[in-house]
Each structure stands twice: as C-alpha cells, then as structure tokens.
Amino acid sequence: MIKILKKYEDAIYSLAAILLAFLVGAVLIQLSGFSVIKAYTALFDGAFGSVFNLTQTFMNTIPLIFTGLAVAIGFKSGLFNIGGEGQMYLGAFATAITAIYLGFLPGYILIPLALIMGGFAGSAWGFLPGYLKAKTGAHEVVTTIMMNYIGILATSYLLLKYFKEEGPIPQTVLIPESARLPELIEYSRLTWAIFIAVFVIIIIDIFFKHTKLGYEIQTVGENRSAAEYAGINSNKMMVFSMMISGFVAGLAGSTIVMGVLHRFITNFSPGYGFTGIAVAVLGKNKPWGVFFAAILFGALQTGGITMQLFAKIPMDLMVVIQGLVILFVAAPILIKKLLRK
C-alpha cells in the first residue's frame, strides 16, 4: 500500500494542490459576492458539460500539451526553457509559409512537411540559447526570454514585409484546404492535432525511458558532475535538449495554424508558451503528467468562458485559481506539512 502511494506520490500531491486551489478559490468567489456552487457548476459544465464544450476543452489543451512538454524536456537536462512562446511563433510562421507556398502538394505530404518545418523552426530557436549556454555559459533563462521577443517581433516583421494578406489585418492568406488538419467534429476546431499531441507524448516518454540519448540528457540534468565523470558531453546534451524542446514548442504553433486559425496572425497567442511552464510544474515534468495538467488548464480556460458568460463571474478568478494551483504545487513542503497535520 505504502509502495503504491509512494509510486503515485507526485500525482497525489498535485491533486491535493488542485483541490486546495479550488477551496481557496471558493473562498475568494464567496468573498467577491458570487455563488460558489453556481460558479463551479458553470465552470464544470462549460468544460465538460456537453460534447461541444468537451471539444473546446481539448482544443485549448493541445497547445498547452506541446508547450508544457517543451518546458519539461528542458528541465530534464536541467535547463529552464522560458522560450516556448517565441519557439511557438517561429513554428507557426514556418508552418504557415510552408503550407501556403507548397500548397500544390497533396495533403499527405504537405501536412507532415508543414508540421516538421514548424518543428525545425522552433528547434532552431531553441538551439541558439542552448548553444550560448554551452559555449559562453549565458544563462538560458535570460537568453530564452530575449529570444521570445526576437521571435515574436521577427515573425511579425517578416509577415508585414513579405507575406501579409491584402487588407488591414496583419495576417497571411489562408493556408490551402489540403494543409488543414481535419476536424473530429464539425465546427469544433478539435482536430487530429490531439492525436499528434498524444503521439508526441508517447515518443517523448519512450525517448526518456528507453533511449541512450534520453538517458544521457537526464543524467546531465540530474547530476552534471556525474555525467561528465561518465563521459557524457554535457554541453552537447544541453544543446540537444533545447533543440528537442524547441521542436515540440514549434509544434504548438504548427497545430494552431493547421487546426485552428488556418493562417498566421500576429499576436495570436494568449501566452501558451508561458502557461506551458505552469503545466510542466503541475505535471512534475513527466510527459503524462503534462498531459493531465494541460487538460486541467484547458478545462479552466474553457469552463472559465462559460463562467464569465453565464454566471457573470469575471475571468480573472479563473486566472487566480490557475495561479493558486501552481503556488500549491510549487510549495510541496507546505502541502506535506498540511497533510501530516
């Protein structure tokens, strides 16, 4: 029994943190003069209450799976990749341009190609901070933040300069039908991207559990001295992990372009790259942990809409609950103490 508990220790603490966050959230809702029951009913209903709501939850979950995974992969080698946002913009941009300019290709070639180009673009954006860290020791937190600005503004510049659609909106033309990911349910915008996301989770899980490269990257993250002692080139591993991380973050952008927006638009992201950090923290940097954490955040986002629309509770309270979840996860000592008493 204790052994089983130990195995799921992380999951249990995360669940406790979520519960606690909702409890504190309830107090805040009550204090703000709203009905807790009404609020949480609307929240749950909005996230899971109907097939359509469920599809919206999963639609919101997909980019968070990718950006959350990206942060988790960085963590594996001991690096804190805050650059998911910029890597995602690069990915989205590369995917859109590929899909538009190679639109004559059939879908079964174009879709994988556009995805891979998006991944590579994100990967290139991850490579740079990794390389700088390895060569000069420049701290990745600083460089990835900088790379976010450069990425977001550079794509915006290129768009306006070379790829903008006629008209007032800073966006590309629509990508061809053949490059769009098919919807699972009509009008839901929930597309095959969910399968791509799950596929990537499986690959990353296997990668870290069963491959040599995955093992070496993790060893660098767990104990860099020991890795060097064991003949592992830790610099190389850090660059690799940043590239893989960037690739996955790039896919977040690719799937948004191919599944939701069908074009690249400047400032399309409400900060998926940053929410990814929270998702990774809640998911304890484990691929499947990230999956469930992303669903939670996707559900809060989607349910929050209903809560705002029909229970008239401001969206900000949703953001507060999200913040509380992270606070309680990041403060496991506090939780452990509370549980002991």
Partner 1 sequence: MNNLFGLYNPEEGEIFLRGKPCKIDNPSKAIKLGLGMIHQHFMLIDRLTTTENIIVGEEPLKNGLIDMRKAREQVKQISNKYHLTVKTDERIENISVGEQQRVEILKVLYRKAEILIFDEPTAVLTPQEVNNLFTTLRELKAGGKTIIFITHKLEETMKISDRVTVLRKGKVIGTVNTYDTNPKKLARMMVGREVLLNVNKEKGNVGDNVLEVKNLSLAGKHKNLLLKNIDITIRKGEIVGIAGVSGNGQLELEECIAGLRKVTSGKIILDDVDITHASTGIRRKRGLSHIPSDRLKRGLVPSYDLAKNIILGSQNSFTKNGFLQKNDINEYCKKVVEKFDVRCQSLNDTVDNLSGGNQQKLVIGRELSTDPKFILAAQPTRGVDVGAIEFIHKNILEMRKQNKAILLISAELEELLSLADKILVIYEGEIVSKKNNYTKEELGLLMAGKKVSAEEKLETGNSIQND
Partner 2 sequence: MKKVFVTMLILVFAVCVFAETNVAIVFATGGLGDKSFNDAAMEGMKMAKKQYAIEYDFAEPSAITEYETYLAQFANSEKYDLIISIGFDQADALTKISERFPKQNFAIIDMVVMNPNVASYVFKEQERGFMVGYASALMTVKTDDVRINEDKIVGVIGGMKIPLIDANIAGFMTGVNYADNGVKAIHSYVGHWADPAKGKELTLSMYEQGADIVWGAAGRSGLGVINASKEKNFYSIGADSDQGYLAPENVLTNGMKRVDNTVCIAIKDVIDGKFEGKIYSLGIKEDALGYSVNILPEDVISELEIVKKKIIAGEIEIPATIEEVK
Taking contact as CB under 8 A, which single stretch among the options 33-41, 48-56, 160-168, 219-227 is the one that binds partner 1?
A: 219-227
Taking contact as CB under 8 A, which single stretch among the options 12-20, 167-175, 222-230, 317-325 is the one that binds partner 1?
A: 222-230
CB nearer partner 1, residue 124 or residue 213: 213
Range list of H helices, 32-139: 36-48, 51-76, 84-101, 107-136
Closest CA to 76 of 300, 225, 284: 284
Taking contact as CB under 8 A, which single stretch among the options 51-59, 159-167, 215-223, 327-335 is the one that binds partner 1?
A: 215-223
DSSP state of 258: I
Query: Is residue 309 close enough to count as binding partner 2 by CB under 8 A?
Result: yes
Distance CA 49, CA 53 (A): 6
Residue 228 interacts, among partner 2, partner 1, none and using kind-specific CB cut-offs from 5 to 8 Å, with: partner 1
- Contacting partner 2 (CB under 8 A), which of 18, 25, 43, 56? 56
- Contacting partner 1 (CB under 8 A), which of 147, 216, 241, 269? 216
- Looking only at residues 171 through 190 of this chain, which bind partner 2 when binding is defined by CB under 8 A? 171, 187, 189
Query: Is residue 225 close enough to count as binding partner 2 by CB under 8 A?
Result: no
* Four-CA torsion 156, 161, 163, 169, nearest 10 degrees: 60
Distance CA 114, CA 102 (A): 9
CB nearer partner 1, residue 226 or residue 319: 226
Closest CA to 62 of 171, 250, 195: 195
Whole-Å CA distances, 226 to 131, 155, 230, 240: 21, 40, 6, 18
Angle at which helices 316-330 and 332-340 cross, to 10°: 80
Residue 64 interacts, among partner 1, partner 2, none and using kind-specific CB cut-offs from 5 to 8 Å, with: none
Please give the residue ranges that form the binding site for partner 2 (CB under 8 A): 52, 56, 160, 166-171, 187, 189, 256, 260-263, 265, 267-270, 302, 305-306, 308-310, 315
Please give the residue ranges that form the binding site for partner 1 (CB under 8 A): 210-213, 215-216, 219, 222-223, 225-226, 228-233
